[in-house]
Amino acid sequence: MTDERRTVVVADTSVLINLIHVSRLDLCGRLPGFEFVVPDHVQAEITRPDQRDALGRAVDAGVFQIVDVTDPQDITDFSELTSHLGRGEAACLVLAARNGWAIACDEKRRFRREALQRVGVTRILGTVEIYVSALQHGLLTVDQADADKAILEGRRFRMPFVSFHEILPAAGSEESQ
């Protein structure tokens, strides 16, 4: 019998838009051990028709499930968080904290501080971590990831390394043997 446990990841707008820019939303559905959900508030933040269509196709394909913030305590926490965070970020934090889920978000500063408090560092990932996982599972080559990195940097999403080669664990690779 195989272990079917999966980490549920609630995806914020920042990560979704990055993946839309490089036509890689499908990675979220192909990463072993992960299940991705999108809060309705995040879905509402994606307003460009082409991006809404891309997300809609991914939802229809089963890559993402749309979830709502409906629990009364969640609604209270959501209202509090929207005083200093965006609605999508607030929804992600509320759902992740209550359900023990991870969060995929590339926002920094206030969001990161709040996320560290509410869910902890081990349950926060972003576009880079999704790419690293995809590379480790053979879903992409480093050349493909680096090509996507160049596109994202052209859209003002900076990564603090030149190539994914620099951040991939060397253990077990042919180059390290």
Cα–Cα distance, 108 to 150 (Å, whole number): 21
Q: Which domains are present in the chain?
A: 7-127 (3.40.50.1010)
For residues 45 and 54, the answer to whether their CB atoms sit within 8 Å is no
In Å, how far are 11, 71, 77, 98, 106 from 84, measured between CA atoms?
A: 19, 21, 12, 20, 17
> Whole-model pTM?
0.89
Digit-by-digit pLDDT tens for the chain (177 residues) are: 444 678 999 999 999 999 999 999 999 999 999 999 999 999 999 999 999 999 999 999 999 999 999 999 999 999 999 999 999 999 999 999 999 999 999 988 888 899 999 999 999 999 999 999 999 999 999 999 999 999 999 999 999 999 999 988 753 344 333
DSSP class of 12: P
For residue 108, the model assigns a pLDDT of: 86
Q: Can you give the pLDDT at residue 5?
A: 77
At 43 the pLDDT is: 97
Task: Please provide the size of the chain in residues.
Answer: 177
CA distances 10 to 23, 38, 156, 160, Å, are 19, 6, 23, 24
